[in-house]
Amino acid sequence: MQLENTWKKMIKNNAHKIYFLVFTALLLLALCLVAMHLGAVKFSVAKGFELLFSPDNSNESFVLHHTRIPRIIAALIIGGALSLSGALYQGVIGNPLVSPGILGVLSGASFGAVLAMVLGFNLLGIELFCFIFGLVAMGFALFLSFAFDKNKTILMLILGGIICSSFFSAGVSALKILADPYNTLPNIVFWLMGSLAYIQKLPLLFVAVVFVAIFVLSVLLSRQIDILNLDEESAKSLGISVKKMRILFIIFATLLASSSVALAGMIGWIGLVMPHISRFLLGANHRFMLVGSVLLGGLFLLFCDTIARNAAMSEIPIGIITSVFGVIIFSMVLLVSRKKYD
């Protein structure tokens, strides 16, 4: 009875947050239906629903089930994963303006992918190298943070990320010089701009499993993230092992970021903007903020991918679209935030 009353009280006190999450989920579903019908191969809404539940041998059915639906799923998973990664980084570090690049993970993953392309590996090899070097960048940044200053690990973690990012960015530039200018170099440039066009089902399934597992664990451990936002002494007094929990969530965020980059290339701004919007609308309680970040991340990437597929005769790299809209949305959020607190 007491537990039931506690749940009722929590729902009542957070009704507006629950309404917002439900509204966002419905908006995401509506956008999925819109994206399903937009593209070079066009068909009516009625025909789309018919093919969705009763596929046949037609060209429209093939495009729907083998191109658009997998791509919609990929946008939801990768957008949610990048946004969750940014939310975890921001929650653990206590700075709402950091992004998954804080550990140099994105640059490390990019270096791994470019190296695999130069060496002539296939798509699976590229994704494997991307994932490995993302983890290497994370490990190097963590090593720097603990090796040089054991008491101010967060500051050194940020500096370690800057060092890693600069190092691997220089490596990418060097590999571009070595790449075949007629075959490999164009592929490298296109991949660095991000795309959902060449995602395979098995790697996507792996990322989906990682994403769902980390998302569930993060929501279950959301109270610990809230406590990590307090000063270190207060967190320790509440029974939290600060260093262990920070390392755990940093590993979670890095796994999400590196695996997403391995699949879709460099897609910026999602890990910075979407958690910031979620925190602004839902507050600092990570139980709701993490869920909101995932929904907003999936919504934003699916919206950008739909534009990338349909805005021009040929597909626009999605990294360009996310950067344009990311800058606009983030500027608007900062402007609203400033007026709110003036």
What would the mean pLDDT of 57-85 be, rounded to a whole number? Answer: 89
Neighbours of 331 (CB within 10 A): 11
For residues 72 and 301, what is the distance between their CA atoms, to the nearest angstrom? 9
Q: Tell me: the pLDDT tens digits for 89-137?
A: 888 877 777 777 777 888 898 899 899 888 888 777 877 888 889 888 8
CB-CB contact of 17 with 282 (8 Å): yes
Neighbours of 50 (CB within 10 A): 15
Q: Tell me: the pLDDT tens digits for 250-262?
A: 888 888 988 888 8
pLDDT for 297 beyond 70:
yes
The one-letter amino acid at 104: G
In eight-state DSSP terms, residue 229 is T
For residues 207 and 331, what is the distance between their CA atoms, to the nearest angstrom? 31
H or E segment to which residue 173 belongs: helix 153-178
CATH of domain 12-52+59-341: 1.10.3470.10
Reported residue count of the chain is 342
